[in-house]
């Protein structure tokens, strides 16, 4: 199953330059990389990136992330995927721009 991580453009650029990332500031604080399912990602965008338009949506294969991916309760008690290791560029299935439109973020077709 594909799961999703949202990056600010500067975070994405640093990730692609380094080949791996420990995540955004919130990920570093919490000790794991926050990821969302297709059903959760629009809520994540609205809650944490409401006014940000220069974003990158990254798709990851949950099975390929191995045992370092844990499903833990978060927003509203729903289980969210959390990655307890650096995210490697080789983990990325695809990446696409996530622009901000008049009514919210515009997700690539088929994601939500």
Q: Please list the pLDDT of the chain residue by residue as tens digits (112 residues).
A: 999 999 999 999 999 999 999 999 999 999 999 999 999 999 999 999 999 989 999 999 999 999 999 999 987 889 999 999 999 999 999 999 999 999 999 999 989 8
Asked if the structure places residue 111 within a domain, the reply is: no
| Secondary structure letter of residue 46 according to DSSP | H
Asked if the structure places residue 92 within a domain, the reply is: yes
Residues 37-49 as b or e (16 or more Cβ within 10 Å = b): beebbbebbeeeb
- Sequence-distant (6+) residues with CB within 8 A of 11 are 21, 24
Asked if the structure places residue 57 within a domain, the reply is: yes
Token pair in block for residue 70: 């844990």
Domain that holds residue 14: 2-102
CB 71 within 8 A of CB 80: yes
pTM, 2 dp: 0.94
């Amino acid at each position: 199953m594909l799961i999703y991580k949202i990056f600010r453009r500067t975070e994405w650029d640093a990730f692609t330059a380094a080949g791996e990332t420990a995540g955004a500031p919130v990920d570093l604080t919490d000790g794991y990389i926050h990821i969302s399912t297709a059903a959760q990602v629009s809520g994540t965008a609205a809650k944490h990136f409401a006014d940000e338009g220069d974003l990158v949506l990254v798709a990851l294969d949950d099975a390929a992330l191995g045992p370092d991916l844990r499903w833990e309760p978060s927003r509203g008690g729903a289980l969210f995927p959390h990655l307890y290791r650096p995210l490697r560029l080789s983990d990325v299935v695809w990446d696409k721009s996530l622009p901000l439109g008049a009514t919210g973020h515009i997700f690539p077709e088929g994601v939500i």
